[in-house]
Chain A
């Protein structure tokens, strides 16, 4: 379906489960290095969607310049993977919609403020993420631009049982799709049942839920959810 190139802003991730171990230390590439990566990705044949990933993008000192470079390079859809928290702050959401961001992927670990805040180790981050999602939607609407939201749930043994609730929250927040990103070793009947429950929650709420990381043979009646509308294509990370 729609190819998506990942270009990393550095080392680390935006959101990680604290109970699975401390989040990795984060470090950021210099803007010039990221722009070189963007140029290489574009030269390789730009995918329909570009996702700037890695550590929290809004903590990069020159994110605006990187986004502007990507947009000017001609990537049709420039997206960011984020905790969503920064989007709630000041005019950040409007600034990046104006800069050309057309796609935001928000990572969630829990379906309530209690579980998400505890698993992420960031007090208040659940409410802030939802506020950020609402703000970026409003900013896109105000600018009259076509914009899409996606949720991402890094699945681990702590987030697995949260996944149906997370999908419900993300559906209500206006996501077009949600990715349940599973570790390759997560293959059990119990795990499949939780993942299927999350997929069904998405279906009844009109949101596509895709399962990545494990083979379709493990998904039983939810085998269709091994298909995603956004699919990795090349990329530099």
Chain B
């Protein structure tokens, strides 16, 4: 028989010192849910993805939780699955729940392949996870909770999808609620969900549909809390496009400017660089932006078309130059292995971004992620990838396995030589 209070451990296996914003949201919502008051207690464990799964198991076993929730991304999924397997051996009665973009779109496969896992929360997790906890506390099956796939009577069952949360302000702020402590360099603020673009390799636009924004009052309160937190000198916005509209950029600039004047910086914000001119670049500088991240991901016509990306070379160059003129470092990203790209296209892309001298070059290998257009259309595009996370591309119709590996190594050398400068 379960204790009257559910002890819930939320676990993220992060890159470096990062903290999981997703778990901050999930915890803040569950803690504020009246029906869970006095029913569930929470602890969050942020560990590094390289942490030995035995050590993850040890830490969790010492907490003796009733429920463990993992945030799963493509790059930590293997570590999470390993930890779940060991946890099941040590804590046979614990209820293990996974959520996140890596598992949501393939929930039934994840449960089928990972007997240690009890349930997967699909899509936005705040409401679904809280309801799942309530169901557990009342001895009901979580498999009936909308947005949850779970085991029931030896079978894997999926409840219907859950509608997107219409009013994002209904979600308590992780920072304002105290669920997540803002730390220097690794604090993220989200001002909206969704993406106007539909890039084939990304799940942002596909999974969340239309754009839903937090209110300005809510964002202003979060910025004030994060920017004034002890020790925080830089943070970032996790929005897919910081300069989503001119009006939004003006508002965020006005909001950030007083903090920028006292030395608070924004790093690695993502921008649509083709909509950055001299005025926008000056606004970004006034907002305290130190560095931005942008495409083009590819300069090859066929790949851009297959991935539904637009690319205007002149506007892109103009955007980079405008930002450089304001002293803002630009990280230009290329993805190796996109459908339609031949080796020469990838090399042309490297030539293009190196020639811009943007500040930082980032070459990545395509990961065919669950829930993306490329995942759904892999066969059509001739993409062969590792079915196990992180789903690296193995070969494409245009580039064989050896040349993909060669291009990866060439890209790594370019990054290293570029980085080495006075």
Contact = CB atoms under 8 A, between A and B. Distances in A.
Interface string B374-415: 000000000000000000000000000011011101101110
Given A148-B417, A224-B343, A227-B347, A102 B412 contact: no
A78 B412 CA distance: 20
B413 A208 contact: yes
Contacts of B419: 146, 148
Contacts of A76: 421-422
- How large, as a class, is the contact surface on chain A? 20 to 34
Given A1-B350, A221-B402, A148 B416 contact: yes
A100 B422 contact: yes
Interface string A96-137: 000010110000000000000000000000000000000000
A176 B422 contact: no
B422 A78 contact: yes
A48 B357 contact: yes
B402 A176 contact: no
A49 B402 contact: no
A151 to B, nearest CB: 11
Contact of B354 (A1, A102, A227): A1
Nearest to A200: B402
Interface of A: 1-2, 48-49, 71, 75-78, 100, 102-103, 146-148, 150, 176-177, 199, 202-203, 206-208, 221, 224-225, 227, 229-230
Nearest to A48: B357
B351 interface: yes
A199 B402 CA distance: 11
Contacts of A102: 420-422
A77 B422 contact: yes
A150 B413 CA distance: 10
- How large, as a class, is the contact surface on chain B? 20 to 34
B136 to A, nearest CB: 47
B422 A207 contact: no
A2 B414 contact: yes
Given A224-B403, A230-B417, A202 B409 contact: yes
A150 B414 CA distance: 12
In the A-B complex, the 10 residue pairs with the smallest Cβ-Cβ separation, listed nearest first, are: A208-B413, A148-B420, A176-B416, A177-B413, A229-B414, A1-B354, A76-B421, A102-B420, A146-B420, A229-B413
B410 A176 contact: no
A111 to B, nearest CB: 19
Contact of A224 (B407, B420, B421): B407
B405 A103 contact: no
A103 B418 CA distance: 10
Given A1-B351, A1-B354, A2-B354, A229 B420 contact: no
B410 A208 contact: yes
A208 B409 CA distance: 6
Contacts of A224: 343, 403, 406-407, 410
Contacts of B354: 1-2, 48, 229
A2 B353 CA distance: 10
